[in-house]
Amino acid sequence: MAREFSTVGVVGLGTMGAGIVEVFARNGIDVVAVEISEPALERGRVTLTGSTDRAVAKGKLAPEDRDALLDRVHFAVGLDALHSVDLVIEAVPEHLDLKQRIFAELDRVCRPETILATNTSSLSVTEISVATTRPNQVIGIHFFNPAPVMKLVEVVRTVVTAPEVVADVEALCARLGKVDVTINDRAGFIANALLFGYLNHAVGMFESHYATREDIDAAMKLGCGLPMGPLALMDLIGLDTAYEILDTMYRRGGRDRRHAPVPLLKQMVTAGLLGRKSGRGFYTYERPGSPVVVPDEATPLATEAAVADGARAIAKVGVVGSGTMATGIIEVFAKAGYEVISVTRGAEKSATVCEAVKTSLNKGVVRGKLAEADRDAALGRISWSATLDHLADVDLVVEAVVEELSVKKALFASLDEICKPGVVLATTTSSLPVIDVAMATHRPADVVGLHFFNPAPIMPLVEVVRTIRTSPETTATARAVCAALGKTGVVCGDRSGFIVNALLFPYLNDAVKMLEASYSTADDIDHAMKLGCGYPMGPFELLDVVGLDVSLAIQRELYLELREPGFAPAPLLEHLVTAGYLGRKTRRGFRDHSHR
């Protein structure tokens, strides 16, 4: 039977420590809250009362429950106050020597049966435990910020943690209303090991002028449905904290260069640009601690992407292709008021595309998202053709044909001969180099990537991909068109994966490597990312939806271009694709979908 905890101690009353105190006190457990000095103790008291007062103001906590909660908390200076508690959780800054000193003292102060826990997010629980004479009773209990809200807790066992200690802590998490995932002591555990490689990669994009901070953040929010963009999230976490976590993961996790902190990160920390806590990081905030972003002078490297004034007027658009993407793009342009010429190979394909567009527009009417008059007007703007010659007088051509470079190059060579001067030629490629397509023409300055996301009528994001030959006027025109379509256009350079895929798929690949190493289960990894980071889907759920073959192809392209060892496709992913386990499309991937 699981042990009953009646009194717990919390060491360190910063934002995380105060949140942990609140979690226990909310669930009827007495808490001894400890700090190093009276001023620090008072700051912790203010943090706790502020949080509970906000909960009352929002109607999430009754005033009498707030008062009862606060009555369960005893504030004290010094570790001696913890002599009779059943469990201690340490939540001090991420410095190994500091934590080891605290655990050595806790070992002296606390009763022999007391469990000693650390809330570390990146340090070795094993290295912390050896500072005591009871390493079998030391465990990691990693809450996520804000602790009263976030459901996930990572329970981290070392090779010597007693099984009954693990079981007792798991039962405690259930009592607190948390979802726990139990894992071994590895750098970054689950959530941080997957999250911080992605965050560091995003900082590298920004540092190299690949895209602006706003475009990187918008791309990941709109393209992946994430609650925050990576740079805004870094500001929330704190750049100093992020640096320490990355540095620890690099040193403890096999010195993977993807976890080596990007130089810009260290420079910003040294300059005191720590994020929200200091009032300035990648963004500038109203005041230290405020979430409100205010306009700022360009921070280092935060210059606007090379988008100039002088966008060309676009009235008539040609769309080449007959697949789902082409159909969606035709609908998007027609609903936005553009005259559209759909070009396919043959009358039969034209009829198929026409029917698909009509069906989609009719669904919009049935669902109340489109008026019948607007549907009819959109259809009236579309003409159908089986020859490229009808594109001679358009202002913009959007290519949406098969992802084969030879096919696209041949098409753009033909468009170069047919289209009038000044026409913007756009490719919707998601993986091929736009410059290769552009150089098939004699007008590479007029060629740009417009990477729509599927389904195009619904997804709000378009990646505007400029090559080293794309003119500022062409880029400006592409972004203006995105705005006219009601889309957010984010500008980036012509590099494999652009923004979204370049950040998303290495994260997915890392999750596969974690599973391959038997570090955790697919279910626990998915739980960790959904509950700990607020992701709409876990990595394995997403891999099955996207398709393991698609994911492998994109990851191979990233690896071939960047030659970064950490980007090498996970062997498990290679093997599953070879075996025909492609995800939902084959009803078998990381999970069995045969019952669906």
Q: Has residue 270 got a pLDDT over 80?
A: yes
Q: Tell me, what CATH number does 249's domain have?
A: 1.10.1040.10
What residues contact 383, with CB distance under 8 A and at least 6 apart? 339, 340, 341, 342, 390
Q: What is the mean pLDDT of residues 312-316?
A: 94
Per-residue pLDDT band for 305 (boundaries 50, 70, 90) equals very low
Per-residue pLDDT band for 300 (boundaries 50, 70, 90) equals very low
Q: Has residue 307 got a pLDDT over 50?
A: no
Is the domain of 63 the same as that of 89? yes
Domain-terminating residue out of 493, 513, 529: 493
Q: Tell me, what CATH number does 40's domain have?
A: 3.40.50.720
Q: Is residue 303 part of a domain?
A: no
List strand residue ranges (DSSP E) for 19-72, in order.
30-35
- pLDDT value at residue 186: 87
Q: What is the mean pLDDT of residues 95-122?
A: 95
Rounded to two decimals, the pTM is: 0.88
Is the domain of 266 the same as that of 390? no
Q: Is residue 304 part of a domain?
A: no
Q: Give residue 232's Cα distance to chain centre.
A: 11
Is the domain of 505 the same as that of 487? no
Domain-terminating residue out of 478, 493, 508: 493
Q: How many Cβ atoms are within 10 Å of 70's Cβ, its own excluded?
A: 15
Q: Has residue 303 got a pLDDT over 90?
A: no
Is the domain of 470 the same as that of 321? yes
> In which region does residue 264 sit, left (phi positive, over 0), alpha (psi from -120 to 50) or beta (all else)?
alpha
Which structural domain, as residue segments, surrounds residue 469?
Answer: 316-493
Domain count of the fold of the chain: 4
- pLDDT value at residue 301: 44
Q: What is the mean pLDDT of residues 13-34?
A: 94
Domain-terminating residue out of 184, 209, 234: 184
- pLDDT value at residue 596: 55
Is the domain of 279 the same as that of 334? no
Sign (positive or negative) of CA dihedral 277, 118, 101, 196: negative
Cα angle 230, 236, 238; round to 5: 100
Is the domain of 273 the same as that of 213? yes
Average model confidence (pLDDT) for the chain? 92
- pLDDT value at residue 594: 63
Distances (CA, A) of 466 to 38, 205, 486: 57, 15, 20
Q: Is residue 300 part of a domain?
A: no
Overall size of the chain counted in residues? 596
Q: Has residue 261 got a pLDDT over 60?
A: yes
Q: Is residue 305 part of a domain?
A: no
Coarse DSSP helix, strand, coil percentages of the chain, rounded to the nearest 5 percent: 50, 15, 35
Q: Is residue 594 part of a domain?
A: no
DSSP for 134-166? -GGGEEEEEE-SSTTT--EEEEEE-TT--HHHH
Q: Has residue 206 got a pLDDT over 50?
A: yes
* Tokens representing residue 352 in the block: 């198929």
Of 393, 428, 234, 248, the closest CA to residue 320 belongs to 428
Of 139, 99, 91, the closest CA to residue 115 belongs to 139
What burial class does residue 324 get, using C-beta atoms within 10 Å of its C-beta: 0-12 exposed, 13-18 middle, 19+ buried? middle
Active site residues: 121, 142, 154, 192
Q: Is residue 560 part of a domain?
A: yes
Is the domain of 177 the same as that of 235? no
What confidence tens digit (pLDDT) does each residue in 318-367 have?
999 999 999 999 999 999 999 999 999 988 898 999 999 999 999 999 99
Is the domain of 489 the same as that of 507? no
Q: Is residue 592 part of a domain?
A: no
What confidence tens digit (pLDDT) does each residue in 529-538 have?
999 898 999 9
- pLDDT value at residue 298: 52
Q: Has residue 309 got a pLDDT over 90?
A: no
Of 136-145, 384-393, 440-449, 586-595, the range with the lowest mean pLDDT is 586-595
Check residue 592 and report its DSSP letter: B
Is the domain of 284 the same as that of 207? yes
Per-residue pLDDT band for 251 (boundaries 50, 70, 90) equals confident
Q: Is residue 174 part of a domain?
A: yes
Q: How many secondary structure helices (H) and strands (E) does the chain include?
A: 22, 18
Is the domain of 149 the same as that of 195? no
Contacts 24+ apart (CB under 8 A), 163-169: 164/3, 165/115, 165/136, 165/137, 165/139, 166/139, 167/2, 168/2, 168/3, 168/5, 168/115, 169/115, 169/117, 169/139, 169/141
Is the domain of 344 the same as that of 481? yes
Q: Give residue 439's Cα distance to chain centre.
A: 34
> Between 138 and 121, where is the model more confident?
138
- pLDDT value at residue 595: 58
Is the domain of 453 the same as that of 573? no
Per-residue pLDDT band for 310 (boundaries 50, 70, 90) equals confident
Per-residue pLDDT band for 114 (boundaries 50, 70, 90) equals very high
For strands 73-77 and 87-90, give the pairing: unpaired
Q: Has residue 308 got a pLDDT over 50?
A: no
- pLDDT value at residue 122: 83
Distances (CA, A) of 113 to 70, 163, 561: 27, 14, 55
> Between 465 and 532, where is the model more confident?
465
User: To the nearest whole percent, how much of the chain has pLDDT over 90?
Assistant: 82
What confidence tens digit (pLDDT) does each residue in 72-96 have?
999 999 999 999 999 999 999 888 9
Q: What is the mean pLDDT of residues 188-210?
A: 93
Q: Has residue 302 got a pLDDT over 50?
A: no
Q: What is the mean pLDDT of residues 198-207?
A: 96
